[in-house]
Structures are given as C-alpha cells and as structure tokens.
Chain A
Amino acid sequence: MSKYFANIYDTVNTLWTGMRITWRHMMNIKRDNVTLQYPEERWPRPERNIGFEHEDYNVIRSRLHVDIDDCIGCLKCERACPVDCIKIDTIKAPTRGEDIPDVKHTGETSNGTKKAMVVSRFTIDMSECCYCNLCTYPCPEECIFMVGGPNSSKHPIDYEFSEFDRTDLIYQFAKKLSPEQKDGLQNPKPEAEA
C-alpha cells in the first residue's frame, strides 16, 4: 500500500520537475520563433547564414556552377563524380588558344591557359548530384564550384532551385552549338580555298 502511494508521489514529483522546465522554456521563447507558410511568405535572405561569419566558411554545398569561359575541357570533374551527373563533350579547336567568335569560344582562360578544346556540351544534372564536392578539387582552372559562401563573389548563393519539371534541373553551361557549327569545327575547311 505504501508503495502505491510512493509511486504516485514519484510520478507527480517528476512530472512537476519536467513541467517546470517546459514552463521556463515557454516563458523564454523568442516572439518571432514561428513557422511561416513557406511558398507564400518567406524569411528575408539572411545576411549571415547560421550565426557564423559568412566569409569564414570553408566551403558551402549548394548548386554547382561552371564558368564556361574558363573551362578547358579536361574532363577531370567528370571522372571525379561518383554518380556521373556531369557530362562533357569536347571538340578539338582548330588552333590552340585562339578565339572563335562564330561559336563564342574564347581562346584563353582568365588564368592565361590556352584552350585546346571547344566545350560543346557541359551538363550537370542537379537532381542526381550528391553534393560531395569531389568535382571541385581536381579542376585546374577552378571554374567549377558550388555557389555562395566563399564563392559568393563569383556567383551569389542559390538557396532554392526547385523546378516543376525534372528536366529543368539539368543545367546546361556550354554555349549551344548548331549541327553546322559542330561540323565546321570537326572538319575545318582548308585555308587556301577561302
């Protein structure tokens, strides 16, 4: 019988302890800690991300972006990708390091490397990407990177890149080449005729 009452006493006592803690937290709640109805209303994009300084990030894992003018078509990122979401096609340029205005190809990267390849296709399927960041390290020109964070000077952060169609998540970075342009690059006309 005494055990019965001791049990009840224990229960009430420990519950009271717990309720006191919850009550204290309820009193200390911040007034603006409420859920927003997300797509209709949203928080303003924060200046600082998670309480730490924005510039101090080592890296941020967001959307992949490619500065295609700097890409030399070395395929290193394609090989590094564990899920094969990067797909690159290249065509050999007629002369190394020369601009081809016809297909908007610049001959030199911003680091001064002469490009030997014209990148005819550079697609990243962000729906397959596993955000492992492995592709950004081997890049010799540092032209593939994840947007935002330490790279925000190159490209602002892209928090939400949701689309209605899955195919819209396949990002095309290379300039579109028409079949004639491709053909012209693959079989250059002899100079003597022109």
Chain B
Amino acid sequence: MGVVKGDQMILNIGPQHPSTHGVLRLEVMTDGEIVSEIRPHLGYLHRCFEKHSENVTYEQVIPFTDRCDYLAAMNSNFGYVVAMEELMEIKVPERVDYIRIIMGELNRIASHLLALGVYGLDIGAFTPFLYMLRDRERILDMFEYTCGARLLYNYMWVGGVSHDLPKDFEKICIGFLDYFEPQIEEYNNLLTYNKIFVERTADVGVIPADVAVSYGVTGPNLRGSGVKWDVRKDEPYSIYDRFEFDVPVGDGHFGTLGDCFDRYWVRMLEIKESVKILRQALKDIPGGDVHQMLPKKIRPPKGSVYRRTESPRGDLGYYIMSDGTPTPYRVKMRSPAFTALSVLDEVSRGWMISDVIAILGSLDIVLGEIDR
C-alpha cells in the first residue's frame, strides 16, 4: 500500500499580513492543515541599497543603512562604521566607543522588546505588546533627546558620532534602567510563564543545532538552538571585550532544545545582559571630544574589508570595497534575517498552519533587511 495523499492546497500568507513583519508573501502548500512546503517570495521592499551605495559618498551610505534594519538602526550604523574604520585604519576616541556601545545596546533592548511584544501579538496575547511598546517608547525618547530622530538616526559616523551625549543623559539612562529591570519580571509573569503561551511555543518548530549552523542562522535564533556563538564575545569588535556579560543559550526550558520558546527566552535573557552592559558602560564612560577623528573627506585607500557585528537579529556583516575614490566601489551587506527566513521551510514542514505563524514570529525577521 502506498501513502494516500490528499489534495494539495496552496495558501497565500501575505504580502499584507500583520505577522509577516513587513511585506513578505509565503506560499504555503498544505495537505489538510499540515504544511508540506513553504516558498517565501521576497523583494517587495527591495530598494537597491547595495547598488545605490555605489553612487553616493561613504558618509551618505549611513542614512541608507538605517533603512535596512529599521528596528535596530543604531546597530546597522554600528556595523558600517566599524567596517569603515577598519578599512581606513582609524582609531576612534574612547568616549565614542562607549557612546556607540550604549546606543547599540539600548537599541538591542528596543528591538527585542518589539520582537517579543509582536510575538505575543502573533500568538494572541495583546496586553504584553502594549506594555513592551510603552517601555520601548522611553528608549526612543532617549534617542530623540540625543540625536533628534526616533527611528532612523544617522547617528554614528565614520570616526565619531554626530552629537555628544546630552549633559544629563547618564542620569536619565540610569533612571530608565532602574525602572526597566523590574519590568522584565512583569513581562515574564504576564507572558513567558503563561501556560497558554507555553503550550503554543514549547516543542514547536524545533531547529536542531546542526540545521541552524548549516543554514547559517545566527544571533538569538542560533543561540536558541544551544550553540554558544556571539560575535560580541567570540570576535570582539569596538570595545566589547571590556565588558562582562554572559551569552545566554537555550536549554529547552519548557520543551525541546531549539523550539520557539527557547528563541523567545534567549531574547528575554539577552535584554538582561544588555542592561548589564549598559550599567558598566555608563559607569566608566570617559570624557572627551567625539568629533576629533572625523575625517574631512572620506577617501579610504584601495582595498576591501569584511567586518561582522552582532545586531539584534544576528551576524550583520558589511563587505566594503574601495577603489580610492570618494564613492564606494561595492557595498555588500550580509543580512542575518535573510538566513533566518531561509530555514523557515525546513522547520515548518509537518506543522500546522497556525504553528507557521508562531515559527515565523519566533525567527524575528525584518523585511527591510532581507530585501534591502
């Protein structure tokens, strides 16, 4: 007897679907309610970032990097400027390094808060979303206080940052952290330990460690599968080697190692680690000028550089090729969300349609970065 196969139905999720986190169309082949294959269709947000960069000067690329990963624009800027400084062999003042790390970690918290809140929303919990966005708002207020923009900052420049911190920024930031740390426990009580949420996420969409590595999945998604890999720790850039923090990995808290809950849980733990880094950075931030290393005209020597940094979504790499002119010859961006999306097909085979939403949400993709 052969296997009896039912009629295949093709279900389109997206492009305008709230849980696709952008404009993504998923072509889902279903057998009854069981998913047999998923074909993601990309490109709805394609804005020619890489080609466009070849026509503008090096400093004009930075506003475009904001628009790739728009939920963590500081980290996008960070990767680009670190790569550029490696190419130009600039050593930035210590204060700039500290400011960048403070901004990067604040934005990591903001990005994770949105990821976790929206994940709850995908699963069906509305209240945590509101609470998390309320706290994210405070971080955005601090960004607005510093550089005037709330989402697309253009804050980090090659050789410095655009503005020094406002004079009482440290006090405001410490005040925020003191307020924020007890909130994490509240989120946990509200959403993480909720039995309905656990039932929806635990044991669902397991990514085994070898599959994650072979697909090139990075960031919290990889760490959720139990692989201890963090660029901040293993290949420290900027001054991340000075801070003490742990790299949280999934441990199959409520189910199997590498399930949706682990990926969610790793993000929650990472917020705590970011708070730890922020406290250390705010304690020993030195004084100084943030503009002294800004080059008058950015004209790097001939050559190329590849530098990867840890964005909230994972391993964000920039490959920059210079031919000695004020415009880059080639800018390539390695997007962590793209690889996270590529694993979706393999992971969600055999799960139900409603679980696909849970798996997609747990991968925390940003379509602006995938399509670039």
Interface residues of A (CB under 8 A from B): 7, 10-11, 13-15, 17-18, 21-22, 25, 50-52, 56-61, 80, 82, 130-134, 146, 149
User: Residues of A contacting B127 with CB < 8 Å?
Assistant: 18, 22
The answer to whether B242 has its CB under 8 Å from any CB of chain A is: no
Verify A82–B166 contact, CB threshold 8 A.
no
A132–B166 alpha-carbon span in the complex (Å): 19
CB atoms of A59 and B148 under 8 A apart? yes
List the A residue with the shortest CB-CB distance to B194.
Answer: A14
Contact of B196 (CB < 8 Å), options: A11, A25, A134: A11
Given A17-B193, A51-B141, A56-B166, A130:B63 Cβ within 8 A: yes
Chain A nearest Cβ from B337, distance in angstroms? 22
Once the chains bind, are B154 and A134 in contact (CB under 8 Å)?
A: yes
Interface contacts beyond A15-B194, A18-B190: sample of 6 additional A-B pairs, CB < 8 Å, sorted by A? A18-B127, A21-B190, A57-B145, A61-B148, A134-B59, A134-B154
A-B CB contacts (within 8 Å), total count? 83
- A146/B148 in contact, CB under 8 A: yes
Contact sample, A vs B, 30 pairs, CB 8 Å cutoff: A13-B195, A14-B195, A15-B195, A15-B196, A17-B189, A17-B193, A18-B189, A18-B191, A18-B194, A21-B190, A22-B190, A25-B131, A50-B141, A50-B145, A56-B168, A58-B145, A58-B147, A58-B148, A58-B163, A58-B164, A58-B166, A59-B148, A59-B163, A61-B148, A82-B56, A130-B152, A132-B66, A132-B154, A134-B154, A149-B148
A25 to B190, CA, bound (A): 12
Instruction: Assess A52 versus B172: contact at CB under 8 Å? Given A17-B189, A82-B56.
Output: yes
Q: Is the CB of A58 within 8 A of B146?
A: yes
CB nearest to A13 among chain B residues: B195
Contact assessment for B195 and A10 in the assembled complex, using a CB-CB cutoff below 8 Å:
yes
Minimum CB–CB distance for A138 against chain B, Å = 10
Range of interface residues on chain B? Answer: 35 or more
Q: What are the 6 closest A-B residue pairs judged by CB atoms, nearest first?
A: A82-B60, A132-B63, A59-B148, A58-B163, A11-B195, A61-B148
Closest chain-A Cβ to B159's Cβ sits at a distance in Å of 13
The answer, among B59, B141, B154, B162, for a CB contact under 8 Å with A52, is B141
Whether a CB of chain A sits under 8 angstroms from the CB of B64 is yes
Q: Which residue of B lies closest to A59 (CB)?
A: B148
The CA of A175 and the CA of B162, in the complex, are separated in Å by: 32
Q: Considering the complex, give the chain A residue whose CB is closest to the CB of B168.
A: A56
